[in-house]
Chain A
């Protein structure tokens, strides 16, 4: 795991767990606040949800950068540092050492974080599937037994896109958040 983050040329130390927890809390609170606000603005319509890929991508990139989760893959596939994209040069001006191989303990943390995230995601996916199943059942009842139809007018395409976005955000950030949240202060380790 990296001890500091270089963002727009500014170095910020993340050795303290408290600071990492603040980052995680701010990112999640910000995402929830944006979703809540956009629900009231246009019920998760096009004008507000167009920004969702950006709002999901940037925190996921920053979290992954801090935990260094993609290092081993780069080592496997490349012998030297890859050429940077325009966005990469803009976001992370000074690249860290890509040959920094994750240790056994770090891999253990990573796998455990994915195990717990998997079960959280499992519950989320099951819930979304039940939601869509309800919607489809309504359609069947409408067609076959209109008198028995249980109407769910609140299940709209926009709502389904919103929950899909929440699922994707969770899938992209949850393992890294768990690592950032539970990894002890890095000074203590040394």
Chain B
């Protein structure tokens, strides 16, 4: 800070985001994280905070289809981009095939890491609809799970992509 008079917080800006197909508008700090805006301003708490360092993957969302760590993303950077969160994956009560397999084969235990995995998983399956197990493991290496040993998570992917 150059002098005491500048110690007030920077002015908020009105931000308009496209989240899960709908428009959200709100006043945000220039340095606001996408994660915080989603969770505490837009009320979309399915996106989780686990580490604040881009390591656990719980905060993964999709921005223009790409998996993105919302804890390392400024909300203002997403103006005009398509944001998809875990809340936008199921079609009403109808789960996506990955979600359905996830639930059926026990890939969610405590469930805290699940939204991040699903968002990264969706992006993988759109890019590569029939991934090998090795490709799945590489794609999800940015998401940590402490409950499952990843066995049933990999299984959910393989079942979701089986013919």
| A is bound by B | no
Interface residues of A (CB under 8 A from B): none
* Chain B contact residues, CB within 8 Å of chain A: none
